[in-house]
Amino acid sequence: MGVKFFGAFLVERGIITKEQLLEALEEQKKSNLKIGEHAIRLGYLTPQQLEDIRRLQKREEILFGEAAVKLGYLTKEQVEQIIRIQKSSHKLLGDILVEKGIITRETLVRELKAFENEQRQYMTETVFLPEGIKDRDFINIVVDLGKKFLLRTVDINTKFGDFSFENFKKRNEYDVQVDTLGDIKAKVVFSPPEKLGELLTKEYGLPNTIELRKDAVKEFMNIVLGNATAKMERLGKRISISVPKDPDIEGKALRYTLVAPDEEYIFYFKEG
């Protein structure tokens, strides 16, 4: 079964075609403006100010509104107004499919119920590991930050998937490991699909070469683990991190998956 997005669920059941899904997703992307886009339309931000906010979000765990206020570009009242506008104009994928005549409202209601019944066990907005797993808080924080920075940096939306204990399997040349020292000693490997390196080089303003794509993934891991150590310090744990490197992890490790519509972003955690 596994974690699915609603659109992929409809395609899998033969309710819509992949082409119809792509058409609806494109319409959704055009209709559902981000907070920054609403702010520009309202005349509250300039394009350069928006870029400044996005640049800060790529490096710190901070919400858009908090970043805008911190930089002095928006007031709290303006942020609240923009969020209200964004929520009131947001369109769900199912509603767009109905508006375009691809499915009926009755079909949408039926399929949403079936989707919720199938995916209920996966419907969580937070990482969850059971009690008893060593360094549980640290793992939860790293995975959660990985999800947030994928969305904020390269606009990739993921869902929290499953975890298991298994041997690390090298996926491609973009697998990157960071070791932690101090109160938590661990090896953390991030194993993304190859396309992430290309997306990150574009966002970081780097030439699109194989070597720099891997460097971009290393920088992404630096940001995720750097923010994770800062959060752990607020919990009373002092941690330092190594320079990102090629994986040397051996034996069984905790594998946690972030699921995107067409690929997976995998973290491995090994005590060491």
What would the two tokens of residue 71 be? 């930089």
Worst-scoring range by mean pLDDT, 126-135, 137-146, 169-178?
A: 126-135
Question: What pLDDT does residue 191 have?
Answer: 97
CA 17 to chain centroid, in Å, comes to 26
Pick left, alpha or beta for residue 197 (phi over 0 → left; psi -120 to 50 → alpha; otherwise beta): alpha
Percent of the chain at pLDDT exceeding 70 = 97
Element (H, E) at 237: none
Average pLDDT, whole number, for the chain? 92
Which residues in the chain are classed under CATH 3.40.1550.10?
A: 136-271
Element (H, E) at 170: none
Question: What pLDDT does residue 122 have?
Answer: 62
Distance CA 248, CA 245 (A): 9
At residue 157, φ and ψ (nearest 5 deg) are -90, 130
Residue 64 in this model has a pLDDT that exceeds 90: yes
> Are 237 and 184 spatial neighbours (Cβ–Cβ below 8 Å)?
yes
Contacts for 218 with CB less than 8 Å, ≥ 6 apart? 176, 244
Distance CA 207, CA 222 (A): 19
Question: What pLDDT does residue 126 have?
Answer: 63
Using alpha carbons, select from 195, 240, 239, 189 the residue that is nearest to residue 218. 189
Question: What pLDDT does residue 1 have?
Answer: 52
Q: What is the CATH number of domain 136-271?
A: 3.40.1550.10
Instruction: Place 149 in a pLDDT band, splitting at 50, 70 and 90.
Output: very high
Question: What pLDDT does residue 121 have?
Answer: 64
What would the two tokens of residue 99 be? 């508006």
- The DSSP output letter for 246 is -
Instruction: Place 205 in a pLDDT band, splitting at 50, 70 and 90.
Output: confident
Question: What pLDDT does residue 262 have?
Answer: 82
Instruction: Please tell me the pTM assigned to this model.
Output: 0.82
Residue 125 in this model has a pLDDT that exceeds 70: no
